[in-house]
Amino acid sequence: MAGTAPLAGALPAEWWERLAARLIEALVFGIFYYILFIALWAIFRTVGVLEVFEGRLPGVCAWLVAGLGYAVYDWQAHSRHGRTFGKAIMRIRLAPADLPSGAALKRTLVYPAPVMLMGIPVVNLVAGMLLFGVGLLILIDKPLERGPHDRLAGTRVVKDLR
């Protein structure tokens, strides 16, 4: 499945449409992260463990939980609807539309699952480079504009002309 070019006649989504969709989602999940961070900071302060990991414990835990939540959301949205809410706003979607749950999970494990690691000092550098590399590979893969997560799952992000 990974070697096929799904929906060869469909127009691929532009890189800026994909970026805008992810930024829309990042805004919503960023708000979730900050609410979670403040709640965890208050809880850790109350129980006296705020200074564990030099005060970074609330941030690390909030990133892990928010990143895991985002990864699970991404997987479920793509396997059920073929798109996330950011993609729906930008009028783009995954092709093929009947993506198996296993393929959507593979796609999610490559991107955006590494977001969970962004709160961990030092590891966040590696995760950031991986995420940057995924975006760069989308830009240089012409004409299909597929990233490694798309290739692994056998998908493309295309314009939704409905």
List CB contacts of 116: < 8 A, sequence separation 6 or more.
63, 64, 67, 68, 71
160 residue type, one letter: D
Residue positions counted in the chain: 162
- The reported pLDDT for the residue numbered 3 is 44
- CB proximity list for 123: less than 8 A, separation 6 or greater: 117
Determine the Cα–Cα distance for residues 21 and 159; give it in Å rounded to an integer. 12
Provide the pLDDT for residue 39. 93
Measured CA to CA, the distance from residue 31 to residue 121 in angstroms comes to 21
* pLDDT above 80: residue 2: no
pLDDT of res. 142: 86
- Give domain limits for the chain: 15-159
* Alpha carbon distance 54, 59 (integer Å): 11
**pLDDT tens profile 39-94:** 999 998 888 888 877 888 888 899 899 989 999 999 999 999 999 999 999 999 99
Q: Report d(CA 153, CA 142) in Å as an integer.
A: 18
Structure tokens at 109: 């494990």
